[in-house]
Amino acid sequence: MQLASHGASDYRILLSAQASPSEQFAASQLQEILEALCGAHLPIESSAQSDSGTHTGYGKTIVLGDDPGLKQLGIDLPSLVLGPDGFLIKSAGDTLVIAGGRQRGTLYGVYSFLEDYLGCRWYTPQASYLPHYDTIDLPPIEDVQRPILECRETLWNAPMDGDWAARRKLNGHFIDLKPHHGGQIKWAYFVHTFNLLIPPDEYFESHPEYFAEVKGKRTAYQSQLCLTNPDVLRITIERVKQWLRDDPAANVVSVSQNDWYSPCECAECRAIDEREGSHSGSVLHFVNQVAEAIEGEFPHVAICTLAYQYTRKAPKTIRPRPNVIIRLCSIECCFSHPQEQCPRNQSFVEDIKEWAKICNRIYIWDYVTEFGHYQSPFPNLYSLQPNIRFFLQYGVKGLFEQGPGTTSELAELRAYLISKLLWNPDVDVDATIDDFLQGYYGKESAPFLRAYIDLVNSKARDGEYHFHIWTPLNRRFFTPDLVQKSTELLQQAAEHAQDETFRRRIELAQLPIDYVKIVLGLVQGEERRWIISRFFKVAEREGIREIREGSPMPEFRKNISTIFNETDTFVSSHEYDNLA
């Protein structure tokens, strides 16, 4: 099939008469990007304006979305069970069909066609690669893709951009996805909602019994709710219904514990938890009642609750209702080794196995950055794929890979690679990393960046170095030898940068090693002054707002200046942790 030659094409783009907003956007994207690739402008037509395909065949046409004429080509789209996000790409004679779920599937199919068959790349919202073709010749194609995960999300700078996220097939709550992107799986409220449902300022003075009894006393400060109080249940149901009426686009609403401990120890709550062997017992007993109360008015909405910290262990006998999502959190785990291979993760492994026995809709809240040191290296790149495969082994339906929502070590690569894995957990990780490094940093610099990545990540994977999300910088891991080799590789990458854009991106990639040198005191004298100066110059240029969770960059700069001016020493890991 010759789609175009020397700036001309005999093809048209045909849209179904019932095309959804995302399918209409898919047509305009396909038209625009094909023209950028080869110079040919393909007209967009609606099947409402033409009977072509119903009697005489489509001819030289790219058909987008389901259309009655597809049956003439032997394509019965509903029988493929593609869901909202799956799609088919198929050539049939002179016709190319890209069709899928009306919500997002056809749009995803267009982006996959452009990426997989025409070599387009969208590395970040600001960095893409569109090849040039004199002639576009396509081989026979029959490609059906269905995502295993119904909800796919990762939290970095890049995924916040709706266009980029749609190209990367992300569909989660925090992304700026518009109707023409196919919308998203949307929470009315996302997580840690107990204080929103029953605000202590509103209720505690008059009804302290609504709140957790801790050590014999009702408390509102960093407390949970009393989950066996009938009025707490009544108010929660009323408020959840109001939230959903106010936000009719919501698919999910969270009824979940606050982000601290202190579960209720009253006799009724304690009796449930002791019987169930876990504090998840009283939580799930409560959440199931809310889910039952809302399903008549909101049959399309699920209640999501957390299996997090003190509720991570599954209950013995209580089972989640069909409209309840359990979001299991891996916050205590080591992330430098795959989940099943690390002895520190065995309790989490047991917990997901137990939840999988009783729940058919598990979502995972996973962590893919170092929250104590956003800018330090976090050697988990070799664990990403085995961990996602591990989650899927136990039937997980949704995955939220929480980065920092800002810039951190190799954030651009991480967002790109994770998005690939969320769609296809069997993607070739090495090839994906190499492709990204060549496209984002330049082919000449890529080998040095790859060597740096392998140096740091293989040391963590192959040794007894356990990286959690709040791990102090470890001198045993970040030895002078490792830091020196990393510095040399990153410097070689910078020296081979072919233009200013690549050079600036490599400067940002150097920031984590500079950070380690500053915090651990691995450089002295004028070199120290120069590295500190470069670190803050690049951080300011790149708009880096936080150095760690809850600690803004100006505070870190002030701490560095204070110690430098007053004691003329570096900030050790211990000193920095205390200061920040």
* d(C-alpha 194, C-alpha 179), whole Å: 30
**Does residue 53 register a pLDDT over 90?**
no
Q: Which of 328, 234, 215 is nearest to 223 (CA)?
A: 215
Higher-pLDDT residue of 231, 72: 231
Determine the pLDDT at residue 320.
98
What six digits make up the tokens of 18?
């019932």
Report the half-sphere exposure of 48 (CA within 13 A, side-chain side): 5
Q: 61-104: per-residue pLDDT in tens?
A: 999 999 989 999 999 999 999 999 999 999 999 999 999 999 99
**Amino acid letter at 74?**
G
Residue 526: pLDDT band with limits 50, 70, 90: confident
Instruction: Classify 141 as helix, strand or coil.
Output: coil
Write out the H or E segment, with its range, that includes residue 98.
Answer: strand 95-100
Question: How many degrees, rounded to 5, is the angle at CA 575 between CA 464 and CA 565?
Answer: 135
Taking the CB of residue 503, how many other CB atoms lie within 10 A of it? 17
* d(C-alpha 557, C-alpha 554), whole Å: 5
CB 372 within 8 A of CB 549: yes
* d(C-alpha 446, C-alpha 498), whole Å: 11
Mean of the per-residue pLDDT values for the chain?
93
**Does residue 114 register a pLDDT over 80?**
yes
**Does residue 248 register a pLDDT over 50?**
yes
What stretch(es) of the chain map to CATH 3.20.20? 167-439
Phi/psi at 85 (nearest 5 deg)?
A: -120, -15
**Does residue 56 register a pLDDT over 70?**
no
**Does residue 565 register a pLDDT over 80?**
no
Percent of the chain with pLDDT over 90: 87
Residue 52: pLDDT band with limits 50, 70, 90: low
Q: Which of 187, 211, 191, 215 is nearest to 199 (CA)?
A: 211
**Does residue 567 register a pLDDT over 60?**
no
Q: Which of 329-338, 392-401, 418-427, 532-541 has the lowest mean pLDDT?
A: 532-541
Compute the average pLDDT of residues 320-329. 98
**Does residue 55 register a pLDDT over 80?**
no
What stretch(es) of the chain map to CATH 3.30.379.10? 2-150
Q: How many helices (H) and strands (E) does the chain have?
A: 18, 20
CB 438 within 8 A of CB 537: no
Q: 267-316: per-residue pLDDT in tens?
A: 999 999 999 999 999 999 999 999 999 999 999 999 999 999 999 999 99
CATH 3.30.470.20 fits 2-150, yes or no: no
Compute the average pLDDT of residues 195-210. 98
Determine the pLDDT at residue 566.
39
Instruction: Classify 111 as helix, strand or coil.
Output: helix
Determine the pLDDT at residue 572.
43
Pairing of strands 252-254, 302-307: parallel
Residue 5: pLDDT band with limits 50, 70, 90: very high
What six digits make up the tokens of 561?
């200046």
Instruction: Classify 499 as helix, strand or coil.
Output: coil
Q: Which of 165, 121, 163, 161 is nearest to 25 (CA)?
A: 163
Taking the CB of residue 454, how many other CB atoms lie within 10 A of it? 16
Determine the pLDDT at residue 184.
95
Compute the average pLDDT of residues 533-538. 92
Instruction: Classify 315 as helix, strand or coil.
Output: coil
Q: What is the CATH number of domain 167-439?
A: 3.20.20
Taking the CB of residue 392, how many other CB atoms lie within 10 A of it? 15
CB 62 within 8 A of CB 14: yes
Determine the pLDDT at residue 17.
86
Determine the pLDDT at residue 577.
44
